[in-house]
């Protein structure tokens, strides 16, 4: 039995994604007149990415402005007519006091003023509605200029110059931006291993292109919804890693190790030395003592794929015999 650092790990395969990735879409319909970026371009927040043909939006603004001018003219006319009607009513009141006109004529003059007031209220309401339509038309004109909602890299272009986008029900995607400075690792963990995971565990991985370089992070969360692959059930355990050198790319394969426990200078023997299982964490081993074999019961702790921690039953330096018929499935 010897001493060495021993780690209990969960191994998994996963894919890389960007922590922040956004589909940039169009909120108005029309032809994509200009696309100012290409795949791989780095953009900053607010940068102009594309322009949709603005003729329809500009035409709508002119149309609504014309309606608004007409309504303002009607308002001015209505105000003038109301002033005239008010003067007429004042004169009718004077004449009525002198018994020159009948009460019926006075009532008609009063009713006409009420009609003028109601007409003015209708025009004012139409003006308010038209102003709102004008503001909406101006917003739609602004929507023809598509700007970057965040800084990042152009990782996909869905719509090309000259194509028509239709924003009837949902915003059609023009392109996709990703912030590649921080990557999200999606580890596919088997249902047998996922029960051992909790947020905060240390995780690391290598990529196929350079298996000597390790990237490190801390487990962020474990998603509740499983994925089924060839009848096997997996859960996504996620963690983030910085990507300052831009070595990591979208959809790269990650060979992941999640550390469950780590014991410094643990007393260990090879897994293959374990014989009969006697109880939970209690096994039989064969010790070679003065050239003779001796059965011994040992209590085990954590294990990796090669060694197992011994908590009791052996002394440091004692030799154990490795079983030639060892199979890990007996553990």
Give one DSSP letter per residue of 3-27, joined into a string: EEEEEEEEEEEEEEEEEEEEEEE-S
Rounded to a whole number of angstroms, the CA Rg of the chain reads: 40
| Domain stop point among 217, 241, 262 | 262
Q: How far apart are CA 263 and CA 228, in angstroms?
A: 34
Q: Which residues contact 243 (CB under 8 A, 6 or more apart)?
A: 180, 181, 182, 183
What are the backbone angles phi and psi of residue 266, rounded to the nearest 5°? -75, 150
Q: What is the mean pLDDT of the chain?
A: 91
Instruction: Kindly state whether residues 235 and 310 are assigned to the same domain.
Output: no
Lowest-confidence pick of 73-82, 109-118, 243-252, 277-286:
109-118
The number of helices, as runs of H, and strands, as runs of E, in the chain is 3, 18
Mean pLDDT over 274-286 rounds to 93
CATH number of the domain at 200, please: 2.40.30.170
Question: pLDDT tier at 331 (50, 70, 90 boundaries)?
Answer: very low
Q: How far apart are CA 328 and CA 307, in angstroms?
A: 12
H or E element: which one contains 284?
strand 282-289
Q: How far apart are CA 220 and CA 206, in angstroms?
A: 18
Residue 325 located in a structural domain: no
- Tokens 């890990």 sit on residue: 328
Residue 327 located in a structural domain: no
Question: pLDDT tier at 169 (50, 70, 90 boundaries)?
Answer: low
Q: Which residues, listed in sequence order, are joined to residue 216 by a DSSP beta bridge?
A: 204
Instruction: Kindly state whether residues 46 and 157 are assigned to the same domain.
Output: yes
Instruction: Kindly state whether residues 64 and 132 are assigned to the same domain.
Output: yes
CATH number of the domain at 294, please: 2.40.420.20
- Residue 252 to residues 98, 183, 222, 247: CA-CA distances in angstroms? 99, 11, 20, 10
Q: Report the pLDDT value the prediction gives residue 69, as an integer from 0 to 100.
A: 96
Question: pLDDT tier at 328 (50, 70, 90 boundaries)?
Answer: very low
Mean pLDDT over 18-47 rounds to 95
Q: Report the pLDDT value the prediction gives residue 325, as an integer from 0 to 100.
A: 60
Inform me whether the pLDDT recorded for 329 exceeds 50.
no
Lowest-confidence pick of 59-73, 185-199, 211-225, 289-303:
289-303
Inform me whether the pLDDT recorded for 326 exceeds 70.
no
Residue 328 located in a structural domain: no
Instruction: Kindly state whether residues 229 and 282 are assigned to the same domain.
Output: no
Q: Report the pLDDT value the prediction gives residue 303, as an integer from 0 to 100.
A: 86
Q: Report the pLDDT value the prediction gives residue 16, as an integer from 0 to 100.
A: 98
Closest residue by Cα to residue 244 from 327, 171, 167, 179:
179
Q: Which residues contact 156 (CB under 8 A, 6 or more apart)?
A: 39, 175, 176
Full residue range of the structural domain in which residue 155 is found:
28-52+145-171
Question: pLDDT tier at 107 (50, 70, 90 boundaries)?
Answer: confident
Q: How far apart are CA 31 and CA 42, in angstroms?
A: 25
Residue 217 located in a structural domain: yes
Residue 38 located in a structural domain: yes
Residue 112 located in a structural domain: yes
Lowest-confidence pick of 155-164, 198-207, 250-259, 262-271:
262-271
Q: How far apart are CA 330 and CA 10, in angstroms?
A: 19
Report the number of distinct structural domains present in the chain.
4
Question: pLDDT tier at 143 (50, 70, 90 boundaries)?
Answer: very high
The percent of residues above 70 in pLDDT, for the chain, comes to 97
What are the backbone angles phi and psi of residue 189, rounded to the nearest 5°? -105, 135
């Amino acid at each position: 039995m010897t001493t060495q650092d021993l780690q209990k790990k969960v191994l998994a395969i996963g894919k890389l994604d960007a922590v922040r990735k956004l589909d940039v879409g169009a909120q108005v319909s029309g032809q994509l007149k200009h696309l100012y970026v290409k795949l791989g371009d780095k953009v900053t927040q607010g940068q102009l990415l594309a322009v949709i043909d603005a003729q329809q939006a500009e035409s709508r603004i002119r149309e609504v402005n014309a309606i608004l001018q007409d309504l303002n003219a009607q308002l001015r006319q209505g105000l003038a007519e109301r002033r005239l009607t008010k003067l007429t009513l004042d004169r009718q009141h004077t004449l009525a006091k002198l018994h020159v006109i009948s009460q019926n004529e006075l009532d008609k003059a009063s009713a006409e003023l009420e009609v003028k007031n109601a007409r003015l209220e209708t025009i004012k309401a139409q003006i308010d509605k038209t102003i709102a339509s004008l503001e909406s038309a101006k917003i739609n004109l602004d929507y023809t200029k598509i700007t970057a909602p965040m800084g990042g890299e152009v990782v996909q272009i869905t719509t090309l110059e000259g194509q028509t986008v239709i924003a009837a029900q949902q915003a059609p995607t023009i392109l996709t931006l990703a912030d590649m400075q921080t990557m999200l690792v999606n580890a596919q963990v088997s249902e047998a291993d996922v029960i051992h995971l909790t947020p905060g565990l240390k995780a690391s991985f290598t990529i196929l292109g350079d298996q000597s370089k390790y990237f490190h992070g801390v487990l962020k969360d474990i998603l509740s919804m499983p994925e089924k692959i060839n009848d096997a059930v997996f859960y996504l355990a996620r963690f983030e890693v910085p990507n300052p050198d831009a070595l990591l790319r979208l959809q790269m394969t990650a060979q992941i190790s999640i550390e469950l426990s780590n014991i410094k200078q643990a007393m260990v023997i090879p897994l293959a030395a374990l014989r009969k299982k006697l109880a939970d964490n209690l096994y039989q081993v064969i010790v070679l003592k003065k050239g003779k074999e001796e059965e011994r019961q040992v209590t085990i702790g954590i294990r990796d794929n090669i060694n197992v921690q011994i908590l009791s039953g052996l002394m440091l330096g004692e030799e154990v015999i490795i079983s030639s018929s060892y199979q890990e499935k007996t553990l």
